[in-house]
Homo-oligomer: A and B are copies of this chain.
Amino acid sequence: MNFKINKAVLNNAIKKVSGAINPNTPVPALTGMHLAANQDGLTITGSDSDLSIRTFVPSDETEGVEIIEEGSIILPAKELAGIAQKMPKDLIAFATTDETQMQISSGKSKFTLNGADGNEYPKLPTVEGDSYPIKGQVLQELVEKTAYATSKTETRPVLTGANLFYQQGSIGMVATDSHRLSKVVGDEQVEGDISPVTIPEKTLQKLPKLIGDAETVHVKQTESQIVFQTEKAQVFSRLLDGNYPQTDRLIPAEHKTRLTTNRKDFLSAMERSTVLADKDQKVVTLEITDENSGIFETIELSHNNGEVGQSKEDIIVDETEGEELKISFNAQYMIDALKRIDDEKVVIEFNGAMRPFIIKPENKTHFVQLILPVRVY
């Protein structure tokens, strides 16, 4: 195996693949990166067996890779990454001395790195069947707007991922940790008969960077595996077992109180309200009072941490309608939700002090977030 590669191209590929590697894996081969060179180019793979990432550097690009001899090898991931980063010149030459040892040189610097035979690397899962295309930008949005709401505890394992579903010709995604929920439907018509699957949070975390600015992502899925493919990267992920709960019936269709406010100002106020809060208990109280016979100009947000002090804030609202309300909730959940909205204005719809309430962008219907209130004694 023998090739020459541009330093920046190599570092870029290594960075992508690194995300899948767990240095503490019990499978020794998986602590390394798999490099395979053939006449088409160089393929680099990293995997923790649940998640595998494969990048491809074509040999025909000017600033890419020049393959001199085909072959494959496993090299220690951390060391390979360190060497690639610190090499003195823009061109790095790789040449095996035998099946398990690589010489890497650049300028007057030369490394000999001990690895393992490329054939010892575990096979990636094969995912059969047709793929469907989805816009890179749409997939980005689905992931970024829902992944945060996945459960961080293993009580119900299926909730630690986000559910990808197909609804009225569009792909959507929903996540909930049973205290809050986020659901978004992509604004793109996708053809096919796509079964709902639940994608682990770790995969969601890595996906946006791997998709990058790819225009189209080709998705292929079975009952246990999903593959996301762009021109330069392939992401293989295990899926989560179990039936994802029916979330649509959790989202209330009606409301008793409704307010529209500036997203940024409301977010700042929420962030201020957590300054005096304990780390684990950021409960705030929002009070909407009918001072001017139905026309509210401000609502009040307060937090009381007896020992340290209190905060109080008047929130300027654009519009409110409906009943008076005093409701308490976790401020961090509201902060997380507001951060996922791009619009200038947000709408919040309540159904009384003890019922879940929803947050959504003012002018869009495809994105809805839900928060369960907290009982305060």
Contacts and interface: CB of A to CB of B under 8 A. Distances in A.
Contact of A86 (B86, B111, B272): B272
Interface residues of A, number: 33
Contact of A111 (B76, B87, B111, B276): B276
Contacts of A315: 108
Nearest to A271: B86
Interface string A73-100: 0001001001100111000000000000
Interface string A58-85: 0000000000000000001001001100
A265 B101 CA distance: 27
Interface in A246-277: 265, 268-269, 271-272, 275-276
A298 B86 contact: no
Interface stretch (A15-23, A175-183, A288-296, A305-313): A305-313
A114 interface: yes
B309 A114 contact: yes
Contact of A76 (B308, B310, B313, B314): B308
Nearest to A300: B108
A109 B111 CA distance: 60
Nearest to A272: B86
Nearest to A111: B311
Interface string A92-132: 00000000010000001111111000000000000000000
Given A79-B308, A271-B86, A308-B76, A313 B114 contact: no
Contacts of A87: 272
B83 A272 contact: yes
A110 B79 contact: no
A275 B82 contact: yes
A316 interface: yes
Contacts of A269: 88, 109
Contact of A108 (B76, B88, B114, B314): B314
A10 to B, nearest CB: 14
Contacts of A313: 108-110
A310 B111 contact: yes
Interface in A278-334: 298, 307-316
Contacts of A298: 108
Nearest to A82: B275
Contacts of A316: 108
Interface of A: 76, 79, 82-83, 86-88, 101, 108-114, 265, 268-269, 271-272, 275-276, 298, 307-316
Per CB-CB distance, the 9 closest pairs between chain A and chain B, nearest first, are A82-B275, A108-B314, A113-B309, A86-B272, A112-B310, A111-B311, A112-B309, A109-B313, A110-B312
Given A82-B276, A112-B311, 14 more contacts: A79-B275, A86-B268, A86-B272, A109-B312, A109-B313, A110-B311, A110-B312, A111-B276, A111-B309, A111-B312, A112-B309, A113-B276, A113-B309, A114-B309
